[in-house]
A and B are shown apart, each in its own frame.
Chain A
Amino acid sequence: MSKSVIMGCFNSEAFWKEGHTCDLPTLREKETANIIETMDEMLFVLGKSGDFLMTKYQMPKFFERYLNEVGFEFECVAPEETAKIAGSYLNTYAVLPNTEAILNQYDLKGNFPSIKCVRLVNSKSYSTRLYEKIGLKPIGQIVTNLDELMEVGNQLLEAGDFLIKEPMGVSGQGNLLIDGEKTLSRMKRYFEKQEKKGKKIEFILEPMLQKKIDFSCEFELDEAGNVNFLSIQKILNKGFGYLGSVTADADFKAFLESKDYFNVMLKVGENLHEAGYFGSVCVDSMILEDDQIVPIVEINARKSMGFINYYVAQKVLPMGYQSMLTFLSVGYEGQISFKDFFESLKAAGLLFDREKGYVLPLTSHALTINSTESKTQSMHKGRLYVAILYKENQQPEVLLKEFKDFCINYGMKLYN
């Protein structure tokens, strides 16, 4: 079987943005940006026998051994090990402007859609237009100048709060809730400043809907346009931020089937194919309080956290476990060692080892990167990406609470 080299970057949207449109306000914070750079470690879940994983920061050897022992098949390679990986296929998180260059640089094989197409189909403007194309009533409106923004915004405010979305927004950013005329006017002034610098207005305005459940549909679209459904993941959110994924049960899928949801997804696949896209797709959807389904909240034409949980679940299902992917956003003083934390988790009987335990760490550097980078004794931010593996008679929330208590006792401050 052909080997693959797995690599990727989790802030794809930042690479897809072309910089000519106005942005919503963001506060640049170095520590969170550092953490995002380390998330590629969790792509080990995509590995099959003989596959290689290349990450920005080399995964610690003991962690690689542990993941191999519990059943994940991959071998870490350093960027200089070019001879080892030459001729392999590239398996990437998302197609980026440098994907072609990576293929050439490492002499890898792979066929990918053009970056122009990838940019197009990942834009929220594209998914908003797609609603009408497939015969659904769109929930959002695209605005392309300030007068339109104010006119549509004020109309929406008459009914309640609304969201301004960037065409290429990332989870936890790229959305802003507008709860009154004052905030809307504030945003107008903010955008005016950017317009003066030559940027264009392009936003999607959507009424703030009363949602009950967020979920996502993961599928692979082949070059011939065939859709291969992989999973439905319920999304755990806090506010607008992502908190985790858990595989939906058969009842939930049956409910979606009864609402014709999968036919809409097939139409999404058909349109993506027409646009020239093929590869991984994760469509975010939601169910409103009145049980109405909003099938397309956004289209992520790439892999996603839902994909990560799907692959973990596939691996542990034969062992009798289900998986809930989540992360803890933590703070700690001074320096921290992932090895020490890992050993303590093991000693406490929480670390998954096929026989016992339920915490499967998915990353190492996301916890430590900021102490490694700064070397100061002050407080640093870190994240623990984990899969909580549970059996049918167990409640993942209870296990998560126990894990959180463990982290607090370890001296961490929990932020989410």
Chain B
Amino acid sequence: MKEKIKEILVEVSEKPELMEALQGDFNIIEEVGLDSLQMINFILRVEDEFDVEIDFDEFDYDNLQSVSSFCEFLKNQ
């Protein structure tokens, strides 16, 4: 799951160098720095990939503090 999320982040941010740079339990906000539109595209791609639906209006940015916390959040959807 973490690897897939990494792939989506690389695709949405258009930064191939992140594939190498993102290691361990990386922080999605701090390490990737997606802008607002990229963030929406990221969520939409994640929804598509993991067949979940995320509530945009209620989404808490703290879920992106680490890739593990985001995976945990997805498992609870």
Contact = CB atoms under 8 A, between A and B. Distances in A.
Contacts of B32: 415
Interface string A23-41: 0111101001000000000
B46 to A, nearest CB: 12
Given A26-B56, A240-B37, A186 B47 contact: yes
A24 B34 CA distance: 18
A199 to B, nearest CB: 13
Contacts of B38: 239, 241
Chain A CB count within 10 A is highest, among B27, B35, B44, for B35
A401 to B, nearest CB: 15
Contact of B33 (A27, A182, A413): A413
Specify which of A172, A189, A239 lies most central, judged by the most chain B CB atoms within 10 Å of its CB. A239
Contacts of A241: 35, 37-38
Contact of B37 (A172, A331, A379): A172
Given A177-B41, A183-B44, A186-B47, A27 B36 contact: yes
Given A27-B36, A27-B40, A239-B38, A379 B30 contact: yes
Contact of B48 (A175, A182, A379): A182
Contacts of B34: 415
Interface in B3-43: 14, 27, 29-41, 43
A381 interface: yes
A416 B56 contact: no
A331 B30 contact: yes
Contact of A331 (B14, B33, B36): B33
A355 to B, nearest CB: 35
A175 B37 contact: yes
Contact of A172 (B27, B35, B43, B44): B35
B37 A173 contact: yes
A186 B47 CA distance: 10
A156 interface: no
Nearest to A190: B56
Q: Is the interface of B mostly helix, strand, loop or mixed?
A: helix
Q: Interface SS of chain A: helix, strand, loop or mixed? A: mixed
Interface string A171-192: 0110111000011001001100
Nearest to A25: B56
Contact of A173 (B27, B36, B61): B36
A354 B48 CA distance: 53
Contacts of A186: 44, 47, 53
Contacts of A32: 35-36
A154 interface: no
A335 interface: no
A329 B27 contact: no
Nearest to B33: A415
B56 A329 contact: no
A329 B14 contact: no
Contacts of A331: 30, 33
A381 B47 CA distance: 26
Contacts of B29: 379
A379 B27 contact: yes
Given A241-B35, A329-B33, A26 B40 contact: yes
28 contacts: A24-B40, A25-B43, A26-B36, A26-B40, A26-B56, A27-B36, A27-B59, A27-B61, A29-B36, A32-B35, A173-B36, A182-B48, A183-B44, A183-B48, A186-B44, A186-B53, A189-B53, A238-B14, A240-B37, A241-B35, A329-B33, A331-B30, A379-B27, A379-B29, A413-B30, A413-B33, A415-B32, A415-B35
Interface of B: 14, 27, 29-41, 43-44, 47-48, 53, 56, 59, 61
Given A24-B40, A239-B37, 15 more contacts: A25-B40, A26-B56, A27-B56, A29-B61, A32-B35, A32-B36, A173-B36, A186-B44, A186-B47, A190-B56, A239-B38, A241-B37, A329-B33, A331-B30, A413-B30
